[in-house]
């Protein structure tokens, strides 16, 4: 009569436990070393990122608003939609760069056929925080 031998299964289970333990230690080591950061932020990323947003946001919003205006939306509605989608892109842009970017207090007003947009851009990382006011006008006609 043959007896069942569990030694091979126990050896396999021990190997799996050891492997999981080593993997857990490796993940902890990577996090401890700070290698999980998407981008190394050394203080200039807040300034660089916010400068890029201030420079390109008006053109981005105008191009998107033109598309929606051509599609039948009103001028005001198309600029509001363009700002909303640009806000989402700015959040994503910040995540990629390792900087928190948010557009707050967005106001879009029709002033005599010209759409005026004003907002506040907040940028921050572990080391610094910056707030900038953005103001621009768009004439879709």
- Asked if 80 and 114 sit in the same domain, the reply is yes
pLDDT tens digits for 21-73?
A: 887 777 766 665 555 555 454 557 888 888 889 999 999 999 999 999 999 99
Q: Looking at the 3D structure of the chain, how many domains does it have?
A: 2
Quick one: tokens of 24? 């857990």
Average pLDDT over residues 69-83: 92
Quick one: tokens of 5? 């031998």
- Asked if 84 and 126 sit in the same domain, the reply is yes
- Asked if 6 and 63 sit in the same domain, the reply is no
Domain assignment of residue 6, given as a range? 1-36
Quote the CA–CA distance of 30 and 43 in Å, as a whole number: 22
- Asked if 77 and 118 sit in the same domain, the reply is yes
Mean pLDDT of the chain: 83
pLDDT at 29: 66
pLDDT over 90 (residue 98): no
Sign of CA dihedral 86, 89, 91, 96: negative
- Asked if 31 and 64 sit in the same domain, the reply is no
Higher pLDDT, 85 or 29: 85
- Asked if 115 and 61 sit in the same domain, the reply is yes
């Amino acid at each position: 009569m043959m007896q069942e031998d569990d030694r091979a299964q126990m050896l396999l289970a021990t190997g799996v436990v050891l492997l999981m333990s080593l993997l857990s230690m490796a993940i902890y080591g990577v996090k401890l070393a700070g290698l999980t950061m998407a981008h190394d932020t050394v203080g200039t990323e807040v300034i660089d990122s916010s400068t890029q947003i201030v420079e390109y946001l008006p053109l981005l919003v105008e191009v998107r608003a033109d598309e929606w205006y051509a599609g039948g939306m009103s001028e005001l509605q198309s600029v509001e939609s363009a700002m909303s989608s640009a806000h989402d892109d700015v959040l994503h842009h910040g995540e990629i760069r390792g900087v928190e970017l948010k557009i707050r207090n967005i106001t879009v007003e029709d002033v005599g056929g010209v759409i005026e947009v004003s907002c506040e851009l907040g940028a921050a990382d572990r080391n610094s925080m910056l707030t900038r006011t953005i103001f621009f006008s768009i004439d879709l006609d």
